[in-house]
Amino acid sequence: MQNKKRSFFERLTGSIRMEEDESEDTKGSAIENKKNGNWMEEENDEAELAVDVYQTATDIMIQTMVAGVKPENLDLNIARDMITIAGRREENRNIDEENYFIKELYWGKFSRTISLPHEVEPEEAEATERHGLLTIRLQKVDKEKKANIKVKSL
């Protein structure tokens, strides 16, 4: 099997991508590795966070699941045209690997950088978490907004 980076879903579920054009040899070795318990390789890179991004008349809304992540382990970096959500889900159990029957949950670092479809006001951003769902509200820049300013005489 080619050494391709596994998707977030593959890491989350512990699944293995099987290409249709793989030979029977390769498929057999992947299955054999799974039987031997070597199917889940230790990786130090970050998982990509799955997100929903939508808009309302005045806001860009981003939602993502961060269940099991403490608020202090989340980092939101917001610019006018992009946002980066990064964090770490820490496993606080000390269980030997040989005692697992199934191990599908993802633990470790994750991040996602999203280019925004409209400019936003970074100072006006709001982030809330409820039952593991992180919701970020980014106020769109109103380019049509005009202001009349009176000149003061000093």
Please compute the mean of the pLDDT values over residues 6-34 and round it to a whole number.
54
Answer yes or no: are the C-beta atoms of 9 and 15 closer than 8 Å: yes
pTM above 0.95, yes or no: no
**90 within some domain:** yes
**3 within some domain:** yes
For residue 112, give its domain range. 46-139
**150 within some domain:** no
How far, in Å, CA of 55 to CA of 114, rounded?
14
pLDDT digits (tens, 9 = 90+) for 30-51: 444 444 554 444 455 778 889 9
**112 within some domain:** yes
**Whether residue 117 sits in one domain with residue 58:** yes
**99 within some domain:** yes
What pLDDT does 40 receive?
47
pLDDT digits (tens, 9 = 90+) for 102-143: 888 888 899 999 999 999 999 999 999 999 999 999 999 987
**Whether residue 109 sits in one domain with residue 66:** yes
**Whether residue 125 sits in one domain with residue 112:** yes
Answer yes or no: are the C-beta atoms of 89 and 110 closer than 8 Å: yes
Q: Which tokens in the block code for residue 77?
A: 């970096």
How far, in Å, CA of 7 to CA of 14, rounded?
10
What pLDDT does 51 receive?
94
pLDDT digits (tens, 9 = 90+) for 73-91: 999 999 999 999 999 988 7
Helix (H, G, I), strand (E, B) or coil at 9: helix
Task: Write down the number of H helices and E strands in the chain.
Answer: 2, 8
